[in-house]
């Protein structure tokens, strides 16, 4: 079934992802110009923004330990970035659906800039409340980065959706790899401005995130969702007129479409596994006597795995189908868990394990995000995308909070093993989906089936 979907996408753009409208407008010159301009802005913003929030997984975790002086509060502070992303993802999707990507992304990157500034205040005042609020606001940057990957598909032709999405993921490599090491230039900022330790990285982050918000606001013109809505409104309809979109309908799309349900499960579980292990890795390495330099390198290598190979993953998903690539990602996640379970005190093994964890996350996230987006009608996508990102981050926040308790009670190896076991539900759902696709039934001509084929 997934191979059929992939092949149908490469034969042309006769539909617009399941809403029954003619998508020949995607080939118009003015749309092509808007598509290229949108992608350029997203690429620049993703580099700057990912660099601005990149200190959170390493410097932010250590700052949380320093400010809170409590493992319980430190766990909450560490999870606050993910909680903030979870709380903001759906409202950003709703804002994008109503007012376009430009406003939604500008607001998110701007909120992240405020969050970085609050972390500087938290370091100076040792205020736990300011620390938590700042980390939550910084999570808006994570939500913006996730929404940006979907924004890249708003004007993409169906045959290249996964590739367009993966390019935005990929360009975040530079910022995300260098971000965890902002503590080095941050020390110079601290010395020059007389700031407390671990705060300089977030001064740099606040500046970068402000520039990111300004870039999106002034350069993302025309708005890609507005272009798409305008052309869909004037395109000749090839099916029944779509009903008005609201949150209830968007969530219903996820429940009713098997591909959307599976894609969401794969996204959520891969994100939980990745965030849970990544969150506690700096703490585990520090407990085993490794330096902050080793911590920074480990997180950088992990982030490299998350982003660097995204274009190859996107091309593979467009060529071979979403499902085979998602299943390959489950294997990489399982291998990562085995390494971290085998030698949790070895910096070399943990570096490899964290690299594979990031790579497995990428191999799952790129095709699953594309599958989720393309499996629902175009008008529902911003809300479905926001709901998916919100679910990902909400589940990961629970994992991040629980990861500290698991490591304290059982150790890092157990945490890695439990996270690795999350591949089992995805494999079980894949088997069920495959059996359902082969099972003869009378539903092959229903609206859900038609929507799946159109995607």
Q: How many CB atoms lie within 10 A of CB 447?
A: 14
Strand partners, 198: none
CA distances from 426 to 276, 306, 323, 344 (A): 17, 19, 11, 25
Q: Does some domain include residue 237?
A: no
Q: Does some domain include residue 347?
A: yes
Separation of alpha carbons 325 and 102, rounded Å: 31
Q: What is the model's pLDDT at position 75?
A: 65
What's the domain range around 44? 2-229+246-454
Q: Does some domain include residue 190?
A: yes
Contact between 76 and 15 under an 8 Å Cβ cutoff? The reply is no
Q: Does some domain include residue 202?
A: yes
Residue 190's domain is classified under what CATH number? 1.20.1250.20
- Residues 6 or more apart from 423 whose CB is under 8 A from it? 269, 273, 330, 331, 333, 334
pLDDT digits (tens, 9 = 90+) for 128-180: 889 889 999 999 998 999 899 889 888 888 778 888 888 888 887 777 677 77
Q: What is the model's pLDDT at position 86?
A: 83
Domain count, the chain: 1
Residues of the chain scoring pLDDT < 50 = 1-21, 239-243, 442-455
Q: What is the model's pLDDT at position 339?
A: 92
Contact between 188 and 259 under an 8 Å Cβ cutoff? The reply is no
């Amino acid at each position: 079934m997934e191979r059929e979907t992939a092949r149908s996408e490469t034969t042309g753009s006769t539909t617009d992802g399941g809403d029954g409208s003619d998508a020949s407008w995607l080939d118009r010159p003015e749309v092509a110009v808007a598509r290229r301009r949108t992608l350029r802005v997203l690429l620049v913003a993703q580099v700057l923004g990912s660099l601005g929030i990149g200190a959170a997984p390493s410097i932010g975790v250590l700052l949380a330990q320093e400010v809170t002086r409590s493992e319980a509060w430190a766990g909450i502070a560490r999870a606050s970035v993910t909680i903030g992303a979870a709380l903001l993802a759906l409202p950003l999707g709703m804002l994008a659906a109503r007012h376009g990507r430009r406003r939604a992304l500008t607001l998110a990157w701007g909120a992240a800039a405020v969050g970085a500034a609050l972390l500087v205040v938290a370091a100076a005042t040792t205020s736990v409340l300011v620390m938590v609020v700042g980390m939550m606001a910084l999570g808006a940057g994570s939500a913006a980065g996730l929404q940006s990957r979907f924004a890249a598909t708003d004007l993409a032709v169906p045959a290249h959706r996964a590739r367009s999405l993966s390019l935005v993921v990929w360009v975040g490599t530079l910022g995300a790899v260098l971000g965890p090491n902002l503590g080095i230039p941050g020390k110079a900022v601290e010395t020059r401005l007389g700031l407390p330790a671990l705060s300089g990285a977030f001064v740099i982050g606040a500046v970068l995130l402000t520039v990111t918000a300004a870039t999106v606001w002034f350069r993302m013109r025309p708005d890609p969702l507005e272009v798409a809505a305008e052309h869909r409104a004037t395109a000749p309809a090839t099916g029944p007129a779509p009903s008005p979109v609201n949150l209830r309908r968007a969530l219903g799309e996820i429940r009713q479409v098997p591909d959307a349900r599976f894609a969401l499960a794969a996204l959520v579980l891969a994100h939980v596994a990745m965030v849970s292990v990544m969150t506690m890795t700096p703490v585990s390495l520090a407990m085993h006597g490794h330096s902050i330099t080793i911590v920074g390198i480990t997180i950088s290598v992990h982030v490299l795995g998350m982003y660097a190979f995204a274009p190859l993953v996107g091309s593979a998903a467009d060529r071979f189908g979403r499902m085979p690539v998602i299943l390959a990602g489950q294997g990489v996640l399982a291998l990562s868990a085995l390494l971290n379970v085998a030698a949790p005190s070895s910096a070399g093994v943990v570096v490899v394990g964290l690299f594979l964890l990031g790579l497995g996350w990428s191999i799952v996230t790129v095709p699953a995000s594309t599958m989720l987006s393309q499996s629902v009608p175009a008008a529902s996508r911003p809300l479905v995308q926001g709901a998916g990102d919100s679910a990902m981050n909400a589940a990961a926040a629970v994992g991040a909070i629980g990861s500290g308790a698991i490591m304290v009670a059982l150790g890092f190896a157990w945490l890695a093993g439990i996270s690795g076991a999350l591949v089992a539900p995805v494999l079980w759902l894949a088997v069920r989906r495959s059996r359902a696709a082969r099972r003869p039934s009378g539903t092959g001509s229903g609206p859900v089936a038609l929507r799946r084929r159109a995607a």
